[in-house]
A and B are shown apart, each in its own frame.
Chain A
Amino acid sequence: MKVFLMHPDRDFVPAKEAAFDDDDFAQDLELGVLLDAMAGNDGYLDDIARAALAGAWSNDAGTILYRQEILKDCLANDGIVRELYALALEPFSEDKRRFYIPFGMDPASKVSSSVSTLQMSLDVLRRIRNTCNAFYKTFHSRGFNRLFETLNDNLDDDYLASVKADLERLKFNEGVLVSADLGESGKGANFMLREPQEKDRHMIQRLLPSSQPSFTIQIHPRDEAGAHALGELQARGLSLISDALMQSAEHVFGFLKLLRAELGFYVTCLNLNDRLKGIREGICFPVPSEKQGSFSCLDLRDTCLALTVNGKVVGNDVDADGKSLIIVTGANRGGKSTFLRSVGLAQLMMQAGMFVTAEAFSSSLHSGLFSHYKREEDRSMTSGKFDEELVRMDRIAARIRGRALVLFNESFAATNEREGSEIAHQIVSALLERAVMVLFVSHMYEFARSFLDRKDVLFLRADRDDAGKRSFRLRPGKPRATSFGPDLYKGIFGAPKVSSRSDLVKM
């Protein structure tokens, strides 16, 4: 039995450890904000959302569209999906602790707990099946239809009834019968649990063995070690059946676990949708492109910024089809970082099978997302700091593969511009040769200029409007040799003093 809501052909296996610990991009994209909106204080949903996002890079376009279909069903049937999820959660709730299959227990307890796990799990599955059968008409996705079929095929009423009877027999009232060979060390080997004898039905067969010689050891009542040894012997027999039963219980329980996890992902999407609806942020389903070098968006907004300011934010229109490098220059606080983040988030969400906050979004699939951001505001010009940037680049290089997406934000500026530009140029051109798409926000004019002649480069500029106020919108534009630090200074300090900052920026 398979759930198949996340992948058309395999299970969704969320990693145990919280993902993104090694990923700078999680910090740079403020992924925590997105995860909070998706999970809404639910630790389990947080794990699921993390796992789904972490697994985004291995999804192909087919999987993404498969999930989009299911997500559309979920958006249309919000209440029913949440109800199914609540049912799937039931075995994991606090007051159902007996459902848990504990490890390290003695075989006798394993047997009884497995039996009860099976009984309970099958009951929950039966109710899920019934709910599905009541509402199947309002679902259209391949994923949900297949799940409904699976439940009906495997959990027909006849089968459930026969399993119930089987579980009753597993109580061993007549003792445990174990067979063995003589092992190498003289210990018993190849222990096998033999079918329990039922006095009424097997009367004749029982007469035969009893005619053969048999010897009996009776444990002395005060021989505790002997009683323990006998218990172990019985456990040897029961451990065979308890493992088999555990497997069966785990099979059924595992299906419920998967159902919880896979439905959980869609519930996080519903949660995010609720939050976005609350602040009137519109969503769209992005169009993944299998071929390389496509990227275009209309009114693409930074999801995390919208969630943080609790309102609509300014978006950008970019048509970069056929471009593999986007260099963003221009005014400080001109929306450059926001744009970078909006692209990273949209790409991540698209590849996870989610919607994005844009009017339209289309992009090639990437093999991974990496970000390299300037870490602090200061520009100490020390080689240690520059080296630290190179160390982070080294870490990226160790993990990146062709066709990835890399976001640079004012990188390699911790040394003088000539050196920084040279290094940045070398790194970026190597990435481009490996079909990596690069977005680079930079103040380094030398660096930007070195790409002026290339056709596959798009230059964007954060401009001020005529009134000197920022629009936060990026427009195509070649880089200019100066930046806008003095403006900021003027804006904050008011007086038109001579700025030392502009000197720094020019260096």
Chain B
Amino acid sequence: MLIENTALAHDRKANSGKRPRSKRTGKSDSGGNAAPKAARSASSEKKREPPQRAQSDAPFGSILFPAGCEQLRNETGEMPECFTDLNLDQVIAAVIAKQDATVLQPFFYSTYRDAEILRYRQDVFRELANDDLRSSVTSFCERMNRVRLELGYAKKIQYKCHRQVVIFRAIRIYCQSIETLASEFRNFDLISEGFLGFRRHLEKYRSSEEFAELVEEARDLQERLSTVQYSMLVHGGKVTVRKYASERDYSAIVLDQFKRFRTETNQETERKPRDTESMNHIEEGILDLVGKLYPEIFSALQDYLRRHDRFIDETMALFDREIQFYLTLLAYIAPIKQKGLAFCIPEISASDRAGFACESFDLALAAKLVGEKQGVICNDFHLDGPERMIVVSGPNQGGKTTFARMFGQLHFLAGLGCPVPGRKAKLFLADQIFTHFEREEDISNLRGKLEDELVRLHETIEAMTDDSVVILNEIFNSTSLQDQIFLSRRILEAILATDALCVCVTFIDELSSLNEKTVSMVSTVVPEDPATRTFRIVRKPADGLAYALSLAERRKVTHEQLLKRIPR
């Protein structure tokens, strides 16, 4: 039965030919080549050969794709349609932050249903829970970034002597970054296929003759450069440069003279260096004179640089780019975790629709609240047996939309191979995620709002498959109650006719019990004070009990709560 459905869905998708119109292009009504309003993903499993289990000696290529799966790489630089509604646009923008967006965005925009790829990534994430490993890799990337910055800077330098010193420094940082990484990696007990493969490559490269030469010559040269010491006498409009001749440190003398007035509060007056990387023409001129004071050292430097003009290994460079996918995401969730919110690697399946999440939350909201030092309310859900659709009702501003977003985010993140918000989760790998969120009326839209909504929903119904996830948030709010009940019922029935997963936020109670596939969940309030929401979405309807004690409990000032709160 299930298999038949899936096959049917594939057929329907394959035959639909023209891609459905997105809701936003729907509004602007330009027609034509609109992109589907869904998370783009590789519906690739049928094209591909059964995956070869990677051999331990298979050459390492990428930390995002296991050996043998690299040809499945299908990245898009275009933001998935569901991003704005799910607030994933904010999340990913913050994840990427100051990193290079053109490199990182495609990683975060492209989901996969291939369990081998996703488990490869999940294993890498798991391995990165090791603080030592993570900080080792992070430092490596920071050094590589410095190498790139130095080389970029060197290109702009006019003065030869100065340019050589800068490139030389870049090479030394590079050598050090490889050596540090290799020696640190030797001590890690690695399990993930990704890191094991990477370590093999790293080890091979580090012990290559080419690299050894680069390192040893740099060491010799640096030793000679560090012997350079000079002094400058500044007086009037001139500066005289000569080798340093053991004059006494004057600042130490002055400090000593006044040390009896020292108190611990002002002892550590900070001395802020105003160092910039760039040099002005006087400094560059001085460096030239220093070159004249030490001519043998500087000609050896010139020769070294000429022989090593392309020194960066390509696989290392790729790793440096791709590992950012993991590091940036982990860095983003770290402060959220620190507030006691849990993340987990979800159990994933491209076929089993039963799923759940414990103590999960809206990632975008959590990041915001954590920044504002506010608490975050977690919610659970589970879909068992025949259950496919969660109908969320209850008072407004009670966290219903947040719950719906959370559901969508969980399923998208699972398709990236990422950890997801929650203590534990099992998630279905969706081919696409469709979202319909209430938007402000757009006056440039010629069609009525209701009609537009219907058109968009129709496109979704047409484009969705048994493998899709659909999020409906307060649909048909612009029409009469009778219409809403009628239309909503029709739409939900159409979705229920497929095997897709769905969350529907509505205030229409009767939608919550259409059939055995629907699950009713309710946003709850503090009974005593209906203006106050708990932001908990539960399977039971709220009861109307109101006691002063429940108020006190909410303010955490009951006898028991106070005893816990007040330190002795």
Residues of A participating in the B interface, judged by any CB pair closer than 8 Å: 1-2, 11, 13, 118, 154, 159, 163, 166, 170, 174-182, 184-188, 192-197, 208-209, 212-219, 221, 225-227, 229-230, 232-234, 237, 239-241, 243-248, 250-252, 254-255, 383-384, 386-387, 390-391, 393-394, 397-398, 400-402, 415, 419-420, 422-423, 426-427, 429-431, 433-436
**Size of interface on B: residues with Cβ below 8 Å to A:** 80
- Which of B269, B281, B559, B568 contacts A226 (CB under 8 A)? B281
B565 and A397 form a contact (CB under 8 A):
yes
> Given A394-B555, A394-B557 in contact, is the A227-B237 Cβ separation under 8 Å?
yes
C-alpha gap A243/B274 in the complex (Å) = 14
- Which of A176, A184, A255 contacts B263 (CB under 8 A)? A255
Subset of 23 A-B contacts with CB under 8 Å: A13-B265, A118-B258, A163-B257, A177-B231, A180-B232, A184-B169, A188-B232, A196-B250, A215-B242, A217-B238, A218-B238, A225-B281, A226-B281, A229-B280, A246-B269, A387-B555, A390-B555, A397-B562, A398-B565, A423-B548, A426-B559, A427-B559, A433-B563
B289 part of interface (Cβ distance < 8 Å): yes
Residues on A with beta carbons closer than 8 Å to the beta carbon of B169:
184-185
A426 and B558 form a contact (CB under 8 A):
yes
B289 and A397 form a contact (CB under 8 A):
no
A175 and B250 form a contact (CB under 8 A):
no
A243 and B529 form a contact (CB under 8 A):
no
- Which of A188, A192, A196, A248 contacts B261 (CB under 8 A)? A248
C-alpha gap A246/B262 in the complex (Å) = 12
Residues on A with beta carbons closer than 8 Å to the beta carbon of B568:
401-402, 434-435
B279 and A179 form a contact (CB under 8 A):
no
Residues on A with beta carbons closer than 8 Å to the beta carbon of B262:
247, 251
Q: Please name the residue on chain A nearest to B166 by beta carbon.
A: A185
B552 part of interface (Cβ distance < 8 Å): yes
B59 part of interface (Cβ distance < 8 Å): no
Residues on B with beta carbons closer than 8 Å to the beta carbon of A166:
254, 257
A215 and B292 form a contact (CB under 8 A):
yes
C-alpha gap A391/B225 in the complex (Å) = 67
Residues on A with beta carbons closer than 8 Å to the beta carbon of B235:
174-176
Which residues B526-562 have CB closer than 8 A to chain A? 528-529, 547-549, 551-552, 554-562
Residues on B with beta carbons closer than 8 Å to the beta carbon of A255:
261, 263
B255 part of interface (Cβ distance < 8 Å): yes
B562 and A217 form a contact (CB under 8 A):
no
> Given A177-B247, A229-B281, A397-B557 in contact, is the A217-B289 Cβ separation under 8 Å?
yes
Contacts A213-B242, A248-B255 aside, 20 further interface pairs with beta carbons under 8 A come to A154-B260, A178-B234, A182-B228, A185-B279, A193-B251, A209-B245, A216-B238, A218-B237, A225-B281, A229-B283, A230-B237, A233-B234, A233-B282, A244-B254, A247-B269, A390-B551, A394-B556, A397-B566, A402-B568, A434-B566
- Which of A170, A179, A243, A402 contacts B271 (CB under 8 A)? A243
Q: Please name the residue on chain B nearest to A215 by beta carbon.
A: B289
C-alpha gap A246/B251 in the complex (Å) = 11
B551 and A387 form a contact (CB under 8 A):
yes
A387 and B283 form a contact (CB under 8 A):
no
Q: Please name the residue on chain B nearest to A180 by beta carbon.
A: B230
A209 and B242 form a contact (CB under 8 A):
yes
Secondary structure at chain A's binding surface: helix, strand, loop or mixed? helix
B241 part of interface (Cβ distance < 8 Å): yes
C-alpha gap A212/B271 in the complex (Å) = 33
CB distance from B468 to the nearest CB of A (A): 45
Residues on B with beta carbons closer than 8 Å to the beta carbon of A386:
548, 551
A192 and B237 form a contact (CB under 8 A):
no
CB distance from B204 to the nearest CB of A (A): 30
> Given A196-B250, A209-B242, A215-B289 in contact, is the A387-B237 Cβ separation under 8 Å?
no
Q: Please name the residue on chain B nearest to A435 by beta carbon.
A: B568
Residues on B with beta carbons closer than 8 Å to the beta carbon of A252:
258, 261
B500 part of interface (Cβ distance < 8 Å): no
B335 part of interface (Cβ distance < 8 Å): no
Residues on A with beta carbons closer than 8 Å to the beta carbon of B551:
383, 386-387, 390
B237 and A219 form a contact (CB under 8 A):
yes
Residues on B with beta carbons closer than 8 Å to the beta carbon of A240:
250-251, 271
B250 and A195 form a contact (CB under 8 A):
yes
B267 part of interface (Cβ distance < 8 Å): yes
C-alpha gap A187/B285 in the complex (Å) = 11
C-alpha gap A240/B254 in the complex (Å) = 10
C-alpha gap A195/B234 in the complex (Å) = 13
Q: Please name the residue on chain A nearest to B228 by beta carbon.
A: A182
C-alpha gap A415/B529 in the complex (Å) = 14
C-alpha gap A307/B346 in the complex (Å) = 68
- Which of B239, B528, B562 contacts A233 (CB under 8 A)? B239
CB distance from B181 to the nearest CB of A (A): 20
C-alpha gap A168/B126 in the complex (Å) = 66
B556 and A212 form a contact (CB under 8 A):
no
Q: Please name the residue on chain B nearest to A2 by beta carbon.
A: B263
Residues on B with beta carbons closer than 8 Å to the beta carbon of A159:
260
Residues on B with beta carbons closer than 8 Å to the beta carbon of A427:
557, 559, 562
> Given A178-B234, A192-B249, A226-B282 in contact, is the A216-B240 Cβ separation under 8 Å?
yes
> Given A182-B225, A182-B228, A398-B565 in contact, is the A230-B234 Cβ separation under 8 Å?
yes
A254 and B263 form a contact (CB under 8 A):
yes
Residues on A with beta carbons closer than 8 Å to the beta carbon of B277:
185
Q: Please name the residue on chain A nearest to B290 by beta carbon.
A: A182
A241 and B269 form a contact (CB under 8 A):
no
Residues on A with beta carbons closer than 8 Å to the beta carbon of B233:
175-178
Residues on B with beta carbons closer than 8 Å to the beta carbon of A217:
238-239, 241, 282, 285-286, 289
Residues on A with beta carbons closer than 8 Å to the beta carbon of B238:
216-219, 230
A383 and B243 form a contact (CB under 8 A):
no
CB distance from B149 to the nearest CB of A (A): 11
B248 part of interface (Cβ distance < 8 Å): yes
CB distance from A229 to the nearest CB of B (A): 4
Q: Please name the residue on chain A nearest to B264 by beta carbon.
A: A11
> Given A175-B235, A216-B241, A402-B567 in contact, is the A247-B255 Cβ separation under 8 Å?
yes
10 closest A-B pairs (Cβ-Cβ)? Answer: A175-B235, A251-B261, A248-B258, A186-B165, A194-B247, A214-B242, A229-B282, A430-B562, A419-B548, A426-B559
